Structure 1
């Protein structure tokens, strides 16, 4: 898990620029997920589109998409999905003087449901005081949920 998180953050913190370009590049950062359209349950074999709303760190950032990654390649790990927004800003920008009341951005990703076991989505919400990522965990079952009967 720690290795996955390190690779996830490292991939998002890369600077994008051309080798011969002496101008400013961009820095990518992960952004807090504030809303999503996860269903109550999944149907096996069906392709789902998920809309994600994420929050830009400030008005100087631009939303560039959603990062959704599986924890690994094994059967159990493939059902653990880590989701975060991705934002960027100019690499040479050290302060932001712009203000904006609407920092929410929408993005999306698609995924086909395989197997009949539940999927767990880890929606990135930030870091704790120790610098560790914090997630909202949402479990979505595959197949129709069995109705519950009231206790008699």
Structure 2
């Protein structure tokens, strides 16, 4: 009997909910990375705060931060760092009439340098004609603790 009451209660609750909701349906887009502040080199064992500037696709988008991922959990791809801005928008808005000169946004992330080989940053800049991701690639060398600048 208790199972039947629970089933009927759940059915009533579910049937009273409308699937067609006119409220905002938020979706996310990548946003072009236009600038990144990286040091000339990293020192192994240190953590760095990295500032990134990205560009919202339209004035109808809202800044949602950064997407930062490593190429792999282990091995050489672990030092491949993919960075993209993230912008959200309401999918219910069919046409965007808002204008804004303030589409440039900044965000920060921290990275711990725990390997001795260079780190490669892949900054998302958009899609090509074949809808393939395009990146600006920057490699940052790593020195051991107390070692001199690799450029000296």
> Paired residue for 1:70?
70
Deviation at 1:101, TM superposition (A): 1.4
Q: Distance in 2 between matches of 1:122 and 1:95?
A: 32
Where do residues 90-105 of structure 1 align in structure 2 (5 Å cutoff)? 90-105=90-105
Rg larger in 1 or in 2? 2
Give the secondary-structure state (helix, strand or coil) at the position aligned to 1:24: coil
Could you report, residue by residue, the CA deviation over 1:71-98 in whole angstroms, capped at 9, with x for unpaired residues?
Answer: 1112201100000000001121121111
Q: Give the RMSD, CA atoms, in angstroms.
A: 1.6
> Paired residue for 2:61?
61
> Paired residue for 1:133?
133
Q: Distance in 2 between matches of 1:47 and 1:20?
A: 46
Instruction: State the number of aligned residues.
Output: 129
> Paired residue for 2:30?
30
Moved more, 119-128 or 73-82: 73-82
Length-normalised TM-score, structure 2: 0.81
Q: Which runs of 5+ in 2 are unaligned?
A: 1-17, 144-148
Q: Which runs of 5+ in 1 are unaligned?
A: 1-18, 148-152
Could you report, residue by residue, the CA deviation over 1:48-93 in whole angstroms, capped at 9, with x for unpaired residues?
Answer: 1111100000100000101110011122011000000000011211
Q: Distance in 1 between matches of 2:49 and 2:19?
A: 38
After TM superposition, the runs of 4+ consecutive aligned structure 1 residues lying more than 3 A away are: none
Deviation at 1:20, TM superposition (A): 7.5
Q: Distance in 1 between matches of 2:45 and 2:85?
A: 26
Length-normalised TM-score, structure 1: 0.81
